[in-house]
Amino acid sequence: MEIVVAKEILKANDLIAVANRMKLDEAGVFAVNLLGSPGAGKTTLIEGLAKHLDGRVRIGVIEGDLETAQDSQRIEALGLPAVQINTGGGCHLDANMVSSAIKSLDLDSIDLLFIDNVGNLICTAGFVLGEHHRIVVLSVTEGDDKVTKYPPMFQRADTVVVNKMDLVEFTDFSLDRVRDDERKLNPQTLVHEVSATRGDGLAELADLLVVGRQAWIDSSGA
Ligand code: ZN
């Protein structure tokens, strides 16, 4: 019974995600769903990328959290439009929540929309939100076994960002293992290493997003 219910929920979610996607396409907004564990550094990554994207694309952010507005306040402090979704304890964002959030953003003044999902490596993977690109942030302090432990999350990633590389020397994290495991799951996924706090690798990641958005525009005629 439970399985049937879960399938129906996902089907309803997918329909709303398609509508979100159409709305974003019409407005020329490239949406990036950011996933990862609590503390992986998703919000810090957005803050770091914003500096490199400034003047190139206009950014907006949807922040998903259980209760607080701490993360959206961090984003607003950068002068970027941010909408907070509080899931009221729910462990993932769904397309319906994103649909409401999109309505309170001025899409005409945004080129690139980051959707900072609830910190969670499990069920967030199953809910498409209407995004064009999925980034999974994995920090080296979480360990290098996460790709094999949470395959749905990593299989559906367009990019895996390995964060906190400034701390790697204090851990037994193997970047080679993550690259190998990811290649077996999804050979198309790009694995890119950064230190969001120190800034290493952020310029290259910002370039990847700008190029990705341009390729999407060129292919869709948006
Ligand atoms: Zn959940």
Could you tell me the two tokens for 12? 């309803």
Pairing relation of β-strands 133-139 and 30-36? parallel
Q: Which of 28, 56, 81, 82 is nearest to 206 (CA)?
A: 56
How many angstroms separate the alpha carbon of residue 20 from the centre of ligand 1? 20
How many angstroms separate the alpha carbon of residue 55 from the centre of ligand 1? 36
Give the per-residue pLDDT at 10.
81
**pTM of this structure:** 0.94
How many angstroms separate the alpha carbon of residue 88 from the centre of ligand 1? 12
Residue-wise pLDDT tens digits, 42-52: 999 999 999 99
Residues in a beta bridge with 120: 36
Could you tell me the two tokens for 108? 């005409």
Query: Which residues hold their Cβ within 5 A of ligand 1, which is an ion?
Result: 91-92, 123
Give the per-residue pLDDT at 3.
66
Instruction: Give the residue carrying structure tokens 């994207």.
Output: 53
Residue-wise pLDDT tens digits, 130-163: 999 999 999 999 999 999 999 999 999 999 999 9
Could you tell me the two tokens for 123? 């069920």
Residue 35 burial (CB count, 10 A): 29
CA distances from 15 to 11, 101, 116, 154 (A): 7, 17, 21, 23
The length of the chain, given as a count of residues: 222
Q: Identify the H or E element spanning 190.
A: strand 190-193
- Mean pLDDT rounded to a whole number for the chain: 94
How many angstroms separate the alpha carbon of residue 158 from the centre of ligand 1? 21
Residues in a beta bridge with 31: 113
Residue-wise pLDDT tens digits, 1-12: 556 777 887 889
